[in-house]
Structure 1
Amino acid sequence: MPPIKKKVSAASAATRGRLIEAAGEVFATHGYRAATVQMICQKARANVAAINYHFGDKENLYFEALRHGRDQLLAELFAEPAIKPGEPPEAALGRFVRSYLEGLLGAASPDWHRRIVAREMAEPTAMLDRFVKTCIRPQHDRGVGIIRVLAAGRLTEEQMLLAWRSVIGQCLLYVNCREALLRVDQKTAYAEGFIDELVQHITTFSLGGLEALAAATRPAPGQKSHRQTTLNKAPHGSLRAGA
């Protein structure tokens, strides 16, 4: 159960912040199971009572560190609506991809922000359900919503889910496999401007894939179209960028 929220002084808030930062680094390095509250307290210059006061227990401290890491990585993503008023959905998709890649590949956040989230995905803890509900699901629904507008009733729900996961999969390849890809390319780091190139590629490739899916889903003459039978109420439109 999450701890009861308390009003705290500036000094107490600073202690809480140090605990989250220290816990994030320790959990990202050692994993939830191997990390101890003693390691965290030593790094944060705090005592176990401070963990109990601010978080209740190790599990809640882990969740807060995990959520903080993810929120910092994707802060820009949720700073604006999924699709701004008057914005073409193609542009919204590109903006999502850019915010996602800049958050995960950029240098603005400490490395543990990425590592703790990646570790939770690879080694799930009891906190995964809570993390999915509060953090991953909103991000997922936002992305699927953009795909739904782009699909404009021409794809099934399953096709739209798969399409969105293909977009995210392309992004995550360059995040989770970065070191391997750099070695394949005989490089030590992604080149300056690589994120711009990647955003353009993933957005264009994904829009082309959606167009191909929509074309393949069109019924033969005389058959009812998916648009006539689907529960999706989105208005019809083109998937081509700039249309």
Structure 2
Amino acid sequence: MSNLDQARVASRSAETTRAALIKAATSVFAEYGYDGGSVRLITQRAMANQAAVNYHFGGKDGLYREVLIAATKTFEQDSFLCPEELDARSPEEALRLYLHQFLLPLVKRDRVSRYLRIFAWESVRPSEAFNAFIMASPPRIFQLAERVVKRFLPEEAPAETVTFATLWLAHQPMFFVRDAERLARAPFALKFDEASLERLVDTLAGFSLRGLGNL
């Protein structure tokens, strides 16, 4: 094998390892959050050594940032909830659609759902790595929540009121997404399926409408 062929094989191997680490990290951070997601568990799932994390990402923070970048790109490219679709609906319908989309991780386990669970963890225990990331690139979750909230507020509403309402709405579905496993056990014993998802959307939408309507 020539030196050029050896270099190509090494490059492909490095790219494969890097991709495997990002995929494993996404799964681990979705399950345990940033604090609970250990590098050891990530490398075990990726079948890589811990030195590979430092080599490719400079450490855990760098790896987490790559996961957040991938999440942001997915939210933008996949358009699982686009602003135009929200604007085309009535305020009440836009609110229901927002809640429905962000509660989907309760019944789905796709890539978008894992990203949403990571953001749900950060809503309770924000990491320094996440704070640094959102300073440069605000998550789409909050941008869409703000878009929905503004449909209910007068144009002259103070910026602080918009911010408070946006944060409040964005956190409504996150609790259920983050703690789904715990809520499925006693004493709650909740079962999350398509039917229960719709009931949860109805309930949260009702609470939200009463709250937003009194601002």
TM-score by structure 2 length? 0.68
Higher helix share: 2
Task: Tell me how far 1:42 sits from its aligned partner.
Answer: 4.1
Task: Tell me how far 1:35 sits from its aligned partner.
Answer: 2.8
Report the Cα distance in structure 2 between the residues aligned to 1:33 and 1:108, rounded to whole angstroms: 20
- Which sections of structure 1, spanning at least 5 residues, go unmatched? 1-7, 214-243
Q: Which residue of 2 aligns with 1:51?
A: 53
For 2:106, the aligned partner's letter is L
Given candidates 114, 133, 136, the residue that maps to 2:135 is 133
Q: Which residue of 1 aligns with 2:109?
A: 108
Report the Cα distance in structure 2 between the residues aligned to 1:34 and 1:203, rounded to whole angstroms: 32
Matches within 5 A, 1:58-207: 58-68=60-70, 78-84=79-85, 86-102=88-104, 104-109=105-110, 116-133=118-135, 136-153=138-155, 155-178=157-180, 179-180=182-183, 183-185=186-188, 187=189, 189-207=191-209
Task: Tell me how far 1:71 sits from its aligned partner.
Answer: 6.8
Identical amino acids, percent of aligned pairs: 25
| Superimposed CA distance per residue, residues 12-33 of structure 1 (whole angstroms, 9 cap, x where no aligned partner) | 4432221112334555559558
For the aligned residue pairs, the C-alpha RMSD in angstroms reads: 3.8
Report the Cα distance in structure 2 between the residues aligned to 1:166 and 1:77, rounded to whole angstroms: 25
Task: Tell me how far 1:201 sits from its aligned partner.
Answer: 2.5
Report the Cα distance in structure 2 between the residues aligned to 1:61 and 1:198, rounded to whole angstroms: 34
| Superimposed CA distance per residue, residues 41-60 of structure 1 (whole angstroms, 9 cap, x where no aligned partner) | 44323345643453233321
Q: Which residue of 1 aligns with 2:5?
A: none
Task: Tell me how far 1:63 sits from its aligned partner.
Answer: 2.2
Q: Which residue of 2 aligns with 1:17?
A: 19
Pair member with larger Rg: 1
Report the Cα distance in structure 2 between the residues aligned to 1:42 and 1:210, rounded to whole angstroms: 46
SS of the counterpart of 2:64? helix
Structure 1 pair 100/71, CA: closer, same or farther in 2 (3 Å)? farther
Structure 1 pair 181/70, CA: closer, same or farther in 2 (3 Å)? farther
For 1:126, the aligned partner's letter is E
Q: Which deviates more, 27-36 or 171-180? A: 27-36
| Superimposed CA distance per residue, residues 51-82 of structure 1 (whole angstroms, 9 cap, x where no aligned partner) | 3453233321122235546876x679843432
Task: Tell me how far 1:144 sits from its aligned partner.
Answer: 1.2
- Which sections of structure 2, spanning at least 5 residues, go unmatched? 1-9
Structure 1 pair 204/188, CA: closer, same or farther in 2 (3 Å)? closer
SS of the counterpart of 1:183? coil
For 1:193, the aligned partner's letter is A
Structure 1 pair 96/32, CA: closer, same or farther in 2 (3 Å)? same
Report the Cα distance in structure 2 between the residues aligned to 1:97 and 1:76, rounded to whole angstroms: 20
Structure 1 pair 191/58, CA: closer, same or farther in 2 (3 Å)? closer
For 2:192, the aligned partner's letter is Y
Report the Cα distance in structure 2 between the residues aligned to 1:145 and 1:30, rounded to whole angstroms: 27
Number of residue pairs aligned between Structure 1 and Structure 2: 202
